[in-house]
Every structure is written in C-alpha cells, then in structure tokens.
Amino acid sequence: MRCPFCAHDDSQVKDSRPTEDNTSIRRRRQCSSCGARFTTFERVQLREVTIVKSGDRREAFDRSKLEQSVSLACRKRDVSQERIDQLVSGIQRQVETAGESEFASSRLGEMVMDGLRELDSVAYIRFASVYRDFSEARDFEEFASSVQEVAEGDSDSSGVGNG
Ligand SMILES: [Zn+2]
C-alpha cells in the first residue's frame, strides 16, 4: 500500500483486526520510508456500481464519501461510529445488491435520509435541509461542504424533531 504522505510504494502492516461489527478488517500501517502511520480498511465489495449524478455525470460508488456525509450530519450528536458504520454498510449493501450497474445519486440521497431519520432527528434535519435545497442542480455529495456551515449555526438542538 502506497504511503499517502510521501507516496513511497511500500508500507508495513503493524496491526490487523476486524472492526466491531465484523464487516471489515482494519489494518494499521507504517511507511517504511518516512515512518508515517495510517490505517486502511478491507471490506467486501460485491460489485462495481456507477453513481449517476445530475447532468449525467458518472463516478464509481465510493463508500468513504458516503461515510463522510453521514458522519458530518451526525457531528457532535450522540451517535456512535458503530451506528454510522452500520448505516453506511446497510446502504452500500443495498446499492451493491440492487442488481443494477448504475444507481441514481438522488436515490442514494433518499436512502441516507431514510437511515438518518431512524438514527438521529437532528442529523436527519441537517442532511435533509441541505439536500433538499440542492434541487436538481447539485448532488448530495456536495452536502459535505455545506453541512459544516449548517452545523456551526446549530447551537441549540432542542425543539427540533418529530419531523
Ligand atoms: Zn511515507
């Protein structure tokens, strides 16, 4: 595995263990050139799926982007990393088992909203408010940059819920 810091082609595995929900293997690595430490995850990928975004743009389904959006929506909320992993893994499984090689970005966004609704009402509202504003022109992945602003202004979450 190439080092993300110095791009050296070799790194050593220092530790290797399954994650809590046992759906992936976490490996701690150390670059044999610069000594930087980083972590990689090994997960099952059932099939390659292309996400079709607005304007007919296409890109490979990327679990880490999905996880980033969910994590941001749940920021500073009482939602464990394990619950986030479960939600993301559930969506990934649905995408990969849908039996289609292409999957609409909007459908993915709806699945995230469905999942967040059950997980945490504030996280759901954060995601939904930004996502719905995107309309046709933008994609839920751009949510990642927008939610930070929303979250900053969200000092008191009481009274929000029962959407
Ligand atoms: Zn390095």
Closest to 133 in 3D by CA, of 104, 109, 151, 156: 109
* pLDDT, tens digit (0-9, with 9 covering 90-100), for 143-152: 655 555 555 5
Residue found by looking up tokens 């982007």 in the block: 65
Report CA(157)–ligand 1 centroid distance (Å).
42
Report CA(8)–ligand 1 centroid distance (Å).
5
Over residues 122-139, the mean pLDDT reads: 70
Report CA(6)–ligand 1 centroid distance (Å).
4
CA dist 121 and 161 (Å) reads 5
Query: Is this model's pTM higher than 0.75 or not?
Result: no
Task: Give yes or no for residue 109 having a pLDDT over 60.
Answer: yes
Instruction: Check residue 125 and give its pLDDT.
Output: 86
Report CA(33)–ligand 1 centroid distance (Å).
5
Task: Give yes or no for residue 105 having a pLDDT over 50.
Answer: yes
Report CA(29)–ligand 1 centroid distance (Å).
10
